[in-house]
Amino acid sequence: MNARWPRLGGAAVSVLVVASALGARAASFRATVNRTEIAAHQSVELVLTLTEDAATRPQPLSLPEWSGTWSVVRQDSRQSKAAGPRGRVRRTTTYVLELRPVRNGELVIGPARVRSGRQMLETRPIRIRVHDATVRGARRDGAADAVVAGAEEDVFLAAAAEPARPYLGQQVTVTYSVYASEAVHRGELVRKPVLDDEFWVESLDLTPAELEWTPASLHGRSFMTKALTRYAVFPVRAGRLALDALVFDFDVAPGYHSRAGLRTVRRESRPLVLEVRPLPAAGQPPDFPSGNVGVYRLQARLARTEVLAGEPVVLTVEVRGQGYVRLLSPPRVEVPPGARLLGPRSRTAPARRGLTVTGIRTWDYELVATRPGRLTIPSPMLPHFDPVAEMYRQARGPDLTLRVLPTGADTEARSHDALGAAADTPAPLRDGPPFRSCATPVYMAGWFHLGLVVPPLALAAVVLAGAVRRRVRARRRTTACRRQRAASDAERVLEAGASEPDLATPRAVRRALLAQLELRLGLDAAGRTREELDLAVRSAGLDDELAGELIALLARCDRAQYGARDATADTDLAQEARALLARLKARTQARAGEAT
């Protein structure tokens, strides 16, 4: 029973080797599309990718049936080669088709078929949903009117504002978009809108979905639209205020995948007027600052809760919320008798949360209390107008308490405590000068710590450098030995081919030539195209005549490998290869002697 185990193990290894070899040679054929849902006027790009062994003879491609579902707008193909597992060269053929739907609904791209060697490969069906283009994301308050105004052009810009009737100081979100019924290949900004005269302006970010083209329909026409830029503007006065125009240059063509008929057009957005309402008079506090518009909350705090009389303490008032915090006026701070307020110093930290401008405004006051006792400071108050609720509010926090100590009483109390502690302390027995404090211990010195850390680090660096150097040398020796063995095996095959023509196949001759090139010139010839190999051989210092003969012989080997078998021609290839390799060997040895 034990004698059968070696045989079973050898059989298992053979099965695994054969399976891995078959897996390395297996071909793959897949289909992908750039989108699965399109509008009726859009097209979809179908990419068919075939990967197979380069030795396999190419076969024609069988495309799906398009009648009644799709029309082919464009068809293209390209091919590339790369080295695969075990040094095998894999060929990848890519077919690109641009398809346009014939009707609406759920359409199916049927399977494509191709034969690779003995395998019949087939892609999976792909379902595409085709719908009518409809307008998406129309804005309220008349913002969509500016979009419809330019719908008679093939490409136009639109400005949308929300809300269209804001209050003074309220945030208005302005979005500039482009609508196009033709393919837009490129867009270039010519002039930004000038909004600084009538508005405070902050830039807002666009989401990735808004930067993508989406279908829209206006007045029965189909367009593709996307957002270009977005601003948050805050009007500084009431009345009718006009938003400045955005100017863009676009490169437009009838199709997305062809630049035929390309032209450059300049487009300017139509004017958009805002009706800015003044702040309501009903319920408005006296001397209300017009910049306090938004939704805010207030916090106040003291740096210390106990100070000496006449000693300043910092009072910090922080306001945060939704609105343009740069326009906020300082809150009202009332101090009781026996205290005075200095300052303030302010700082601002604006921020953005989605489409809303937020921020934090902070004021630092210096509070000086001159009267000892407990001081109660009423909380600062910030009146503001809430444009969403359309009412005035007061932002405030809890009252603050400060304990003020008398300066003289505090000093006398501390002196009395110190004298009492000295009287209770016994006198020292030694009658002489006090002991001198010792110097800093050695183990606490900085140079001692440095001396402990540097030697291990230096040793680790030396060990690591030696390991890297040994690994590089081992890799070089391994590469050189591999190339030497490959060149020796190939040379023996060429010598045996003189007596046995069956061994001198074009593939064996080509392998021998590449092995000798790697050994003699020190270059990696596997996976290179003929042009890349020619450039590498000449760059390695080989003269043009010998390099040209070697590349020409490799080309003949490639043609003979896929043509009809001729023993006489194969023998001639082997003899010519031996002669060229002898010249290559003599040339490289002579160059090495000159270098020595």
Residues of each domain in the chain carrying CATH 2.60.40.10 = 25-131, 294-407
Spatial distance between the Cα atoms of 49 and 4, rounded to a whole number of angstroms: 46
Give domain 145-276's CATH number out of 1.10.3470, 1.10.20, 2.60.40, 3.40.50: 2.60.40
Confidence (pLDDT) at 430: 43
Confidence (pLDDT) at 427: 44
* Domain 476-595 architecture: Up-down Bundle (1.20)
Of 440, 562, 580, 444, which Cα lies nearest the Cα of 513? 580
Q: For residue 155, give every residue at least 6 positions away whose Cβ sits within 8 Å of its Cβ, in sequence order, or none.
A: 178, 179, 180, 181, 182, 184, 250, 252, 265, 267
Peptide bond connecting 163 to the previous residue in cis, omega within 30 degrees of 0: yes
Q: Dihedral through CA 61, CA 66, CA 71, CA 76, nearest 10?
A: -10
Beta bridge partners of 30: 49
Token pair of 589, please? 């040895």
Q: What angle do CA 468, 473, 476 make, to 5 degrees?
A: 125
114 and 62 in contact (C-beta within 8 Å)?
Answer: yes
Q: For residue 247, give every residue at least 6 positions away whose Cβ sits within 8 Å of its Cβ, in sequence order, or none.
A: 189, 190, 191, 266, 267, 268, 269
What secondary structure letter does DSSP report for 421? H
Of 355, 191, 159, which Cα lies nearest the Cα of 274? 159
Of 344, 257, 309, 191, which Cα lies nearest the Cα of 46? 257
Residues of each domain in the chain carrying CATH 1.20.120 = 476-595
CATH (residue range 25-131): 2.60.40.10
**pTM of the entire predicted model:** 0.46
Task: Going residue by residue through the chain, which has 596 residues, state the pLDDT in tens, using 9 for 90 and above.
Answer: 444 544 545 554 454 444 444 444 578 898 988 778 776 666 778 889 999 888 888 888 899 888 778 888 778 888 887 765 556 788 889 898 888 788 888 889 999 999 988 889 999 999 988 876 443 333 333 333 444 445 557 889 988 888 889 999 999 999 999 998 888 888 899 888 887 778 888 889 888 888 888 888 777 778 888 999 999 999 999 999 888 888 999 988 877 777 777 888 989 888 788 999 999 999 999 989 989 999 999 999 999 999 998 899 999 999 999 999 999 999 999 988 889 998 889 999 888 777 889 999 999 999 999 889 999 999 899 999 999 889 999 999 889 999 999 886 544 444 444 444 444 444 444 444 444 445 567 777 778 888 888 999 999 999 999 889 888 877 766 666 766 776 777 777 777 666 666 666 787 787 887 887 777 777 777 667 777 777 877 777 777 788 888 888 888 887 777 776 677 777 777 778 888 888 887 877 777 776 66
For the CA atoms of the chain, what is the radius of gyration?
42
Q: Which CATH superfamily, name and number, covers 294-407?
A: Immunoglobulins (2.60.40.10)
How would you classify residue 390: left for phi > 0, otherwise alpha for psi between -120 and 50, otherwise beta?
left
Confidence (pLDDT) at 414: 45
What are the tens digits of pLDDT across the range 170-197? 999 999 999 988 888 888 998 888 877 7
